[in-house]
Structure 1
Amino acid sequence: MALIKEVRGFTPQIGKNAFLADNATIIGDVIMGDDCSVWFNAVLRGDVNSIRIGNRVNIQDGSVLHTLYQKSTVEIGDDVSIGHNVVIHGAKIESGALIGMGAIVLDHAVIGEGSIVAAGSVILSGTIVEPGSIYAGVPAKFVKKVDPEQAKEMNQKIAKNYLMYSGWFKEE
Protein backbone atom coordinates (compact mmCIF):
# COMPACT_ATOMS: atom_id res chain seq x y z
CA MET A 1 0.00 0.00 0.00
CA ALA A 2 1.24 3.50 -0.84
CA LEU A 3 2.63 5.62 1.98
CA ILE A 4 0.19 8.49 2.53
CA LYS A 5 1.46 10.63 5.37
CA GLU A 6 0.11 13.67 7.18
CA VAL A 7 2.62 16.38 8.04
CA ARG A 8 2.17 19.81 9.68
CA GLY A 9 -1.60 19.19 9.85
CA PHE A 10 -1.93 18.52 6.10
CA THR A 11 -3.29 15.17 4.94
CA PRO A 12 -3.07 14.33 1.22
CA GLN A 13 -6.41 14.37 -0.61
CA ILE A 14 -6.69 11.81 -3.39
CA GLY A 15 -9.41 12.02 -6.06
CA LYS A 16 -11.68 9.24 -7.25
CA ASN A 17 -10.38 6.27 -9.22
CA ALA A 18 -6.72 6.93 -8.42
CA PHE A 19 -4.00 4.32 -8.72
CA LEU A 20 -1.20 4.62 -6.16
CA ALA A 21 1.59 2.07 -6.57
CA ASP A 22 2.52 0.04 -3.51
CA ASN A 23 5.66 2.07 -2.84
CA ALA A 24 4.51 5.51 -3.99
CA THR A 25 4.89 8.20 -1.30
CA ILE A 26 2.44 11.08 -0.93
CA ILE A 27 3.13 13.47 1.91
CA GLY A 28 1.41 16.56 3.32
CA ASP A 29 -0.29 19.33 1.38
CA VAL A 30 -1.12 17.37 -1.78
CA ILE A 31 -4.50 17.58 -3.53
CA MET A 32 -4.93 15.25 -6.50
CA GLY A 33 -7.84 15.13 -8.95
CA ASP A 34 -9.68 12.12 -10.36
CA ASP A 35 -8.30 9.29 -12.52
CA CYS A 36 -4.67 10.01 -11.60
CA SER A 37 -1.87 7.49 -11.22
CA VAL A 38 1.26 7.69 -9.12
CA TRP A 39 3.68 4.93 -10.07
CA PHE A 40 6.38 2.92 -8.35
CA ASN A 41 8.92 4.86 -6.26
CA ALA A 42 7.33 8.23 -7.10
CA VAL A 43 7.42 10.81 -4.29
CA LEU A 44 5.03 13.77 -3.94
CA ARG A 45 6.47 15.69 -1.01
CA GLY A 46 4.05 18.41 0.05
CA ASP A 47 5.80 18.96 3.36
CA VAL A 48 7.09 22.50 2.84
CA ASN A 49 4.47 23.85 0.42
CA SER A 50 1.48 22.76 -1.68
CA ILE A 51 1.21 20.38 -4.60
CA ARG A 52 -1.97 20.61 -6.70
CA ILE A 53 -2.65 18.02 -9.40
CA GLY A 54 -5.53 18.04 -11.90
CA ASN A 55 -7.42 15.12 -13.41
CA ARG A 56 -5.99 12.24 -15.48
CA VAL A 57 -2.39 13.00 -14.53
CA ASN A 58 0.16 10.21 -14.53
CA ILE A 59 3.30 10.56 -12.47
CA GLN A 60 5.57 7.78 -13.59
CA ASP A 61 8.11 5.63 -11.77
CA GLY A 62 10.81 7.36 -9.75
CA SER A 63 9.54 10.92 -10.23
CA VAL A 64 9.85 13.48 -7.43
CA LEU A 65 7.63 16.54 -6.90
CA HIS A 66 8.76 19.02 -4.26
CA THR A 67 8.78 22.78 -3.52
CA LEU A 68 10.66 25.57 -1.78
CA TYR A 69 9.49 26.46 1.72
CA GLN A 70 7.14 29.47 1.47
CA LYS A 71 8.48 30.34 -1.98
CA SER A 72 7.20 27.93 -4.63
CA THR A 73 4.39 25.46 -5.23
CA VAL A 74 3.74 22.70 -7.74
CA GLU A 75 0.66 23.10 -9.96
CA ILE A 76 -0.21 20.50 -12.56
CA GLY A 77 -3.18 20.81 -14.93
CA ASP A 78 -5.31 18.05 -16.48
CA ASP A 79 -4.12 15.31 -18.86
CA VAL A 80 -0.44 15.74 -17.99
CA SER A 81 2.10 12.95 -18.33
CA ILE A 82 5.21 13.10 -16.18
CA GLY A 83 7.76 10.57 -17.44
CA HIS A 84 9.96 8.22 -15.47
CA ASN A 85 12.51 9.81 -13.10
CA VAL A 86 11.34 13.40 -13.60
CA VAL A 87 12.00 16.07 -10.99
CA ILE A 88 9.48 18.90 -10.74
CA HIS A 89 10.52 21.43 -8.14
CA GLY A 90 8.12 24.30 -7.51
CA ALA A 91 6.93 24.64 -11.11
CA LYS A 92 3.64 24.97 -12.98
CA ILE A 93 2.77 22.40 -15.65
CA GLU A 94 -0.29 23.40 -17.67
CA SER A 95 -2.88 21.00 -19.08
CA GLY A 96 -1.94 18.60 -21.84
CA ALA A 97 1.81 18.92 -21.33
CA LEU A 98 4.28 16.06 -21.53
CA ILE A 99 7.42 16.01 -19.42
CA GLY A 100 9.87 13.48 -20.88
CA MET A 101 11.83 10.89 -18.94
CA GLY A 102 14.57 12.21 -16.68
CA ALA A 103 13.71 15.88 -17.23
CA ILE A 104 14.15 18.44 -14.46
CA VAL A 105 11.79 21.41 -14.15
CA LEU A 106 12.93 23.97 -11.57
CA ASP A 107 11.20 26.56 -9.39
CA HIS A 108 8.87 29.16 -10.91
CA ALA A 109 9.14 27.65 -14.40
CA VAL A 110 5.89 27.42 -16.36
CA ILE A 111 5.35 24.71 -18.96
CA GLY A 112 2.62 25.93 -21.29
CA GLU A 113 -0.45 24.02 -22.36
CA GLY A 114 0.28 21.21 -24.80
CA SER A 115 4.04 21.66 -24.58
CA ILE A 116 6.65 18.92 -24.60
CA VAL A 117 9.81 18.90 -22.52
CA ALA A 118 12.20 16.42 -24.12
CA ALA A 119 13.70 13.56 -22.14
CA GLY A 120 16.75 14.55 -20.09
CA SER A 121 16.15 18.29 -20.44
CA VAL A 122 16.67 20.83 -17.67
CA ILE A 123 14.18 23.69 -17.50
CA LEU A 124 15.89 26.38 -15.45
CA SER A 125 14.17 28.41 -12.72
CA GLY A 126 11.79 31.03 -14.07
CA THR A 127 11.73 29.70 -17.65
CA ILE A 128 8.43 30.22 -19.45
CA VAL A 129 7.73 27.55 -22.07
CA GLU A 130 5.13 28.92 -24.46
CA PRO A 131 2.06 26.75 -25.12
CA GLY A 132 2.56 24.22 -27.88
CA SER A 133 6.36 24.34 -27.78
CA ILE A 134 9.04 21.69 -27.65
CA TYR A 135 12.01 22.43 -25.40
CA ALA A 136 15.12 20.25 -25.22
CA GLY A 137 18.66 20.30 -23.89
CA VAL A 138 20.68 21.28 -20.84
CA PRO A 139 19.72 23.97 -20.24
CA ALA A 140 16.57 23.48 -22.29
CA LYS A 141 15.95 25.79 -25.21
CA PHE A 142 13.09 26.27 -27.66
CA VAL A 143 13.24 23.72 -30.49
CA LYS A 144 10.03 24.30 -32.41
CA LYS A 145 6.29 24.74 -32.18
CA VAL A 146 4.11 21.66 -32.40
CA ASP A 147 0.76 21.37 -34.08
CA PRO A 148 -1.64 22.02 -31.16
CA GLU A 149 -4.12 19.33 -32.22
CA GLN A 150 -1.36 16.77 -32.77
CA ALA A 151 0.22 17.52 -29.37
CA LYS A 152 -3.16 17.40 -27.62
CA GLU A 153 -4.02 14.09 -29.28
CA MET A 154 -0.66 12.53 -28.38
CA ASN A 155 -0.63 13.79 -24.79
CA GLN A 156 -4.25 12.75 -24.16
CA LYS A 157 -3.48 9.31 -25.63
CA ILE A 158 -0.60 8.84 -23.17
CA ALA A 159 -2.79 10.01 -20.28
CA LYS A 160 -5.55 7.58 -21.31
CA ASN A 161 -3.04 4.75 -21.69
CA TYR A 162 -1.82 5.29 -18.15
CA LEU A 163 -5.41 5.17 -16.93
CA MET A 164 -5.70 1.81 -18.70
CA TYR A 165 -2.39 0.55 -17.24
CA SER A 166 -3.49 1.49 -13.73
CA GLY A 167 -6.63 -0.59 -14.26
CA TRP A 168 -4.49 -3.68 -14.71
CA PHE A 169 -3.15 -3.27 -11.17
CA LYS A 170 -6.55 -2.57 -9.61
CA GLU A 171 -7.94 -5.85 -10.98
CA GLU A 172 -5.36 -7.96 -9.15
Structure 2
Amino acid sequence: MSQEAPDELSLALDLEAPPIYYNKADYIQTASGNKVSRNSVLCGSQNISLVGNSVVKPGVVLRGDLQLLKIGKFVIVGDGCVLRPSYKKYKGNIAFFPMSIGDYVTIGPKSIVCAAQIGSCVDIGENCVISKRCILKDNSMILPGTILPPDTIVPPLTVFGGIPGRYLGELPESQPIVQKEHAMTEYRRFLPSAKSGGATPKASTPKAKAAKSPSNAQLSP
Protein backbone atom coordinates (compact mmCIF):
# COMPACT_ATOMS: atom_id res chain seq x y z
CA MET A 1 0.00 0.00 0.00
CA SER A 2 1.32 3.45 -0.85
CA GLN A 3 2.29 5.87 1.89
CA GLU A 4 -0.13 8.48 0.55
CA ALA A 5 -3.29 6.56 1.46
CA PRO A 6 -2.41 6.09 5.17
CA ASP A 7 -1.44 9.77 5.36
CA GLU A 8 -4.87 10.78 4.04
CA LEU A 9 -6.56 8.42 6.46
CA SER A 10 -4.58 9.75 9.41
CA LEU A 11 -5.56 13.30 8.45
CA ALA A 12 -9.19 12.29 8.31
CA LEU A 13 -9.02 10.49 11.64
CA ASP A 14 -7.53 13.58 13.28
CA LEU A 15 -10.65 15.54 12.39
CA GLU A 16 -13.65 15.91 14.66
CA ALA A 17 -15.98 14.43 12.03
CA PRO A 18 -15.52 10.73 11.11
CA PRO A 19 -14.45 9.69 7.59
CA ILE A 20 -17.11 9.17 4.93
CA TYR A 21 -16.32 6.08 2.88
CA TYR A 22 -17.39 5.60 -0.74
CA ASN A 23 -17.06 2.80 -3.24
CA LYS A 24 -14.17 3.66 -5.52
CA ALA A 25 -15.95 2.00 -8.45
CA ASP A 26 -18.73 4.57 -8.16
CA TYR A 27 -16.44 7.57 -8.68
CA ILE A 28 -14.03 8.87 -11.28
CA GLN A 29 -10.96 10.41 -9.67
CA THR A 30 -8.69 12.67 -11.71
CA ALA A 31 -4.99 13.40 -11.32
CA SER A 32 -5.89 16.78 -9.81
CA GLY A 33 -7.92 15.10 -7.07
CA ASN A 34 -11.47 15.65 -8.31
CA LYS A 35 -13.90 12.92 -7.26
CA VAL A 36 -16.91 12.81 -9.59
CA SER A 37 -19.76 10.36 -9.05
CA ARG A 38 -20.59 8.11 -11.98
CA ASN A 39 -24.23 8.71 -11.05
CA SER A 40 -23.92 12.44 -11.72
CA VAL A 41 -24.88 14.02 -15.04
CA LEU A 42 -22.53 16.46 -16.77
CA CYS A 43 -24.30 18.03 -19.73
CA GLY A 44 -21.99 19.77 -22.19
CA SER A 45 -18.94 18.44 -20.37
CA GLN A 46 -16.61 20.39 -22.68
CA ASN A 47 -17.88 23.59 -21.01
CA ILE A 48 -17.37 22.36 -17.44
CA SER A 49 -14.09 23.04 -15.66
CA LEU A 50 -13.15 21.63 -12.26
CA VAL A 51 -9.89 23.11 -11.00
CA GLY A 52 -9.10 20.33 -8.53
CA ASN A 53 -9.78 18.63 -5.18
CA SER A 54 -13.55 18.92 -5.57
CA VAL A 55 -16.31 16.37 -4.96
CA VAL A 56 -19.40 15.95 -7.15
CA LYS A 57 -21.79 13.55 -5.41
CA PRO A 58 -24.51 11.26 -6.83
CA GLY A 59 -27.55 12.79 -8.48
CA VAL A 60 -25.82 16.09 -9.24
CA VAL A 61 -26.67 17.73 -12.57
CA LEU A 62 -24.22 20.23 -14.08
CA ARG A 63 -25.71 22.12 -17.05
CA GLY A 64 -22.63 22.99 -19.05
CA ASP A 65 -24.70 22.65 -22.21
CA LEU A 66 -26.25 26.06 -21.51
CA GLN A 67 -23.08 28.09 -20.81
CA LEU A 68 -19.61 27.84 -19.30
CA LEU A 69 -19.48 26.44 -15.77
CA LYS A 70 -16.24 27.02 -13.87
CA ILE A 71 -15.78 25.41 -10.46
CA GLY A 72 -12.79 26.21 -8.23
CA LYS A 73 -10.81 24.00 -5.87
CA PHE A 74 -12.16 22.29 -2.76
CA VAL A 75 -15.77 22.67 -3.85
CA ILE A 76 -18.21 20.11 -2.41
CA VAL A 77 -21.44 19.66 -4.38
CA GLY A 78 -23.95 17.64 -2.32
CA ASP A 79 -26.26 14.84 -3.45
CA GLY A 80 -29.00 15.78 -5.88
CA CYS A 81 -27.87 19.37 -6.51
CA VAL A 82 -28.51 21.14 -9.82
CA LEU A 83 -26.07 23.80 -11.06
CA ARG A 84 -27.55 25.70 -13.99
CA PRO A 85 -26.26 28.96 -15.51
CA SER A 86 -28.58 31.92 -15.15
CA TYR A 87 -30.38 33.58 -18.03
CA LYS A 88 -32.24 36.70 -19.07
CA LYS A 89 -34.92 37.22 -21.69
CA TYR A 90 -34.04 39.83 -24.30
CA LYS A 91 -36.19 40.74 -27.30
CA GLY A 92 -37.94 37.41 -27.23
CA ASN A 93 -34.72 35.43 -26.92
CA ILE A 94 -33.08 33.80 -23.93
CA ALA A 95 -29.43 34.61 -23.22
CA PHE A 96 -27.52 32.40 -20.77
CA PHE A 97 -24.59 33.71 -18.74
CA PRO A 98 -21.49 31.80 -17.56
CA MET A 99 -21.46 30.64 -13.95
CA SER A 100 -18.32 30.84 -11.84
CA ILE A 101 -17.82 29.28 -8.42
CA GLY A 102 -14.79 30.19 -6.33
CA ASP A 103 -12.65 28.06 -4.02
CA TYR A 104 -13.67 26.40 -0.73
CA VAL A 105 -17.39 26.42 -1.47
CA THR A 106 -19.82 23.89 0.02
CA ILE A 107 -23.28 23.32 -1.46
CA GLY A 108 -25.71 21.26 0.59
CA PRO A 109 -27.77 18.35 -0.80
CA LYS A 110 -30.77 19.00 -3.06
CA SER A 111 -29.97 22.67 -3.62
CA ILE A 112 -30.68 24.34 -6.97
CA VAL A 113 -28.15 26.97 -7.95
CA CYS A 114 -28.68 29.34 -10.89
CA ALA A 115 -26.39 32.11 -9.67
CA ALA A 116 -24.30 34.27 -11.95
CA GLN A 117 -21.37 34.22 -9.54
CA ILE A 118 -20.43 32.57 -6.27
CA GLY A 119 -17.30 33.81 -4.56
CA SER A 120 -14.78 31.88 -2.48
CA CYS A 121 -15.39 30.53 1.03
CA VAL A 122 -19.18 30.45 0.58
CA ASP A 123 -21.42 27.98 2.43
CA ILE A 124 -24.82 27.15 0.88
CA GLY A 125 -27.06 24.97 3.02
CA GLU A 126 -29.20 22.05 1.90
CA ASN A 127 -32.53 22.46 0.07
CA CYS A 128 -31.71 26.00 -1.03
CA VAL A 129 -32.78 27.73 -4.23
CA ILE A 130 -30.33 30.34 -5.50
CA SER A 131 -32.32 32.00 -8.27
CA LYS A 132 -31.08 33.35 -11.59
CA ARG A 133 -28.50 36.13 -11.71
CA CYS A 134 -27.84 36.09 -7.97
CA ILE A 135 -24.35 37.06 -6.83
CA LEU A 136 -22.92 35.60 -3.63
CA LYS A 137 -19.84 37.51 -2.54
CA ASP A 138 -16.82 35.96 -0.81
CA ASN A 139 -17.22 34.62 2.75
CA SER A 140 -21.02 34.65 2.80
CA MET A 141 -23.46 32.03 4.11
CA ILE A 142 -26.90 30.85 2.98
CA LEU A 143 -28.90 28.99 5.60
CA PRO A 144 -30.65 25.67 4.78
CA GLY A 145 -34.04 25.95 3.10
CA THR A 146 -33.43 29.50 1.85
CA ILE A 147 -34.92 30.73 -1.43
CA LEU A 148 -33.07 33.74 -2.82
CA PRO A 149 -35.14 35.82 -5.30
CA PRO A 150 -33.63 36.62 -8.72
CA ASP A 151 -30.89 39.28 -8.84
CA THR A 152 -30.19 39.10 -5.10
CA ILE A 153 -26.70 40.27 -4.11
CA VAL A 154 -25.33 38.73 -0.90
CA PRO A 155 -22.56 40.99 0.51
CA PRO A 156 -19.35 39.59 2.04
CA LEU A 157 -19.46 38.31 5.62
CA THR A 158 -23.25 38.21 5.78
CA VAL A 159 -25.84 35.51 6.46
CA PHE A 160 -29.02 35.24 4.39
CA GLY A 161 -31.94 32.97 5.15
CA GLY A 162 -35.70 32.49 4.91
CA ILE A 163 -38.34 32.49 2.16
CA PRO A 164 -37.71 34.80 0.47
CA GLY A 165 -34.07 34.98 1.47
CA ARG A 166 -33.11 38.15 3.33
CA TYR A 167 -30.27 39.58 5.38
CA LEU A 168 -30.11 38.06 8.86
CA GLY A 169 -26.79 39.21 10.27
CA GLU A 170 -23.03 39.60 10.01
CA LEU A 171 -20.35 36.92 10.11
CA PRO A 172 -17.10 37.25 12.08
CA GLU A 173 -13.91 38.21 10.28
CA SER A 174 -12.65 34.68 10.93
CA GLN A 175 -15.30 33.25 8.57
CA PRO A 176 -12.89 32.80 5.62
CA ILE A 177 -10.59 30.65 7.76
CA VAL A 178 -13.50 28.67 9.20
CA GLN A 179 -15.09 27.98 5.80
CA LYS A 180 -11.76 27.11 4.17
CA GLU A 181 -11.07 24.56 6.87
CA HIS A 182 -14.63 23.23 6.61
CA ALA A 183 -14.38 22.65 2.85
CA MET A 184 -10.95 21.02 3.12
CA THR A 185 -12.19 18.82 5.96
CA GLU A 186 -15.19 17.65 3.91
CA TYR A 187 -12.84 16.72 1.08
CA ARG A 188 -10.28 14.94 3.29
CA ARG A 189 -12.86 12.85 5.13
CA PHE A 190 -14.33 11.58 1.83
CA LEU A 191 -12.27 8.42 1.38
CA PRO A 192 -12.51 5.22 -0.72
CA SER A 193 -13.51 2.20 1.33
CA ALA A 194 -11.02 -0.62 1.84
CA LYS A 195 -13.35 -2.99 -0.04
CA SER A 196 -13.28 -0.81 -3.16
CA GLY A 197 -10.31 -2.60 -4.65
CA GLY A 198 -7.08 -1.20 -5.97
CA ALA A 199 -7.50 -0.41 -9.65
CA THR A 200 -9.52 2.57 -10.78
CA PRO A 201 -12.36 1.49 -13.11
CA LYS A 202 -12.07 2.44 -16.75
CA ALA A 203 -13.94 5.57 -17.80
CA SER A 204 -15.90 3.53 -20.35
CA THR A 205 -18.03 1.87 -17.67
CA PRO A 206 -20.02 4.67 -15.99
CA LYS A 207 -23.70 4.11 -15.30
CA ALA A 208 -24.58 7.44 -16.91
CA LYS A 209 -24.83 7.71 -20.67
CA ALA A 210 -21.53 8.19 -22.46
CA ALA A 211 -22.55 11.59 -23.83
CA LYS A 212 -23.07 12.83 -20.29
CA SER A 213 -20.14 11.11 -18.64
CA PRO A 214 -17.98 13.27 -16.36
CA SER A 215 -14.89 11.66 -17.86
CA ASN A 216 -14.91 14.20 -20.72
CA ALA A 217 -15.15 17.32 -18.58
CA GLN A 218 -12.23 19.72 -18.30
CA LEU A 219 -10.84 18.24 -15.12
CA SER A 220 -7.50 19.94 -14.79
CA PRO A 221 -4.49 17.60 -14.42
* TM-score class, shorter: 0.7 to 0.9
Residue 7 of structure 1 is matched in structure 2 by none
Structure 1 stretches of at least 4 aligned residues deviating more than 6 Å after TM superposition:
1-4
Matches within 5 A, 1:156-167: 156-167=180-191
Q: TM-score, normalised by structure 1?
A: 0.85
Aligned match for 1:142, one of 144, 162, 167: 167
SS where residue 144 of structure 2 aligns?
coil
Q: Deviation of residue 22 (structure 1)?
A: 2.6
Aligned to 1:77: 102
- Unaligned stretches of 5+ residues in structure 2: 1-24, 88-93, 197-221
Could you give the per-residue CA deviations for residues 52-93 of structure 1, whole angstroms, max 9, x where no partner exists? Answer: 111111101110001235332221000000111111114311
2:81 to 63, 79, 89: 63
Q: Indicate the residue corresponding to 1:36 in structure 2.
A: 54
SS of equivalent to 2:192: helix
Q: Where do 1:47-62 residues align within 5 Å? A: 47-62=65-80
1:126-168 C-alpha deviation (Å, 9 max, x unpaired): 111000100001110000010021x223312321122123333
| Corresponding pairs, count | 162
Task: Specify the alignment match of 1:86 in structure 2.
Answer: 111
1:153 and 2:177 equivalent? Answer: yes
Query: 1:90–1:17: structure 2 CA closer, same or farther, 3 Å change rule?
Result: same
Looking at both structures, which has the greater relative contact order when contacts are Cα pairs under 8 Å and sequence separation is at least 6? 2
> In structure 1, which of residues 55, 75, 100 is the aligned counterpart of residue 125 of structure 2?
100
Flag the 1:90–1:135 CA change in 2: closer, same or farther, 3 A: closer
Superposition RMSD on alpha carbons, in Å?
A: 2.2
Could you tell me which of 2, 13, 18 is aligned with 2:34?
18
Match of 2:4 in 1: none
Moved more, 87-96 or 68-77: 68-77
Aligned to 2:202: none
Q: Could you tell me whether the CA contact under 8 Å between 1:74 and 1:88 is conserved in 2?
A: no
Note closer, same or farther for the CA distance 1:171–1:48 as it changes in structure 2 (3 Å cut).
farther
Q: Which has the larger radius of gyration?
A: 2
2-side partners of 1:155 and 1:56: how far apart?
11
Once the two structures are superposed, residues 5-39 of structure 1 have per-residue CA deviations (whole angstroms, 9 ceiling, x without a partner) of xxxxxxxxx77110012301122111111101101
The aligned amino acid for 1:20 is V
TM-score of the superposition, structure 2-length normalised?
A: 0.67
